[in-house]
Chains A and B, each alone.
Chain A
Amino acid sequence: NAGVMQNPRHLVRRRGQEARLRCSPMKGHSHVYWYRQLPEEGLKFMVYLQKENIIDESGMPKERFSAEFPKEGPSILRIQQVVRGDSAAYFCASSPPSGNGYTFGSGTRLTVV
């Protein structure tokens, strides 16, 4: 049973480009969560999604950031017009409907140059 799969592992974007981060949850998990870790800090909650629904996006920056979890395919975190301050590690986690058994992926390290 594969764990939470995130790709790419590393992503380099120039300022102003778009970044797309993908997350495939564990088999049987229908809930997906995105977290961001800035250097020397803990993980900060961004968004919680179920299939075709955004449940809680209280941690998402108001502009340029969006997330989706379509009926088919992985969850996508999209960052438009990236800036240097977006450089961070972005972690996805998934859980079953009960919410217990949170499992994290290995993360995507975004570097904006």
Chain B
Amino acid sequence: NAGVTQTPKFRVLKTGQSMTLLCAQDMNHEYMYWYRQDPGMGLRLIHYSVGEGTTAKGEVPDGYNVSRLKKQNFLLGLESAAPSQTSVYFCASSYRRSSYEQYFGPGTRLTVT
């Protein structure tokens, strides 16, 4: 079992560029989440999904889009990157019945210059 994997691990973008972060889980979890973690801010929920084909906004969704076409994958897109999106991005997944126990991926460190 790989658990939750994220690609890429690191990325540097220029302002205005776009990119997609990929999250995959092999635990058959129903729920998946994207968070960002910034110094002094804690983890903040960007978007989440309660099932294949469904997504919803979290606390800080502006500037991001997501898709969940397959149960095991959750993609996070940045259409036009901004320096304020420099952060560490974590994907997580959980069972519906125990959504408090979230399994996190190793994170993607994104720098936007």
| Chain B associates with chain A | no
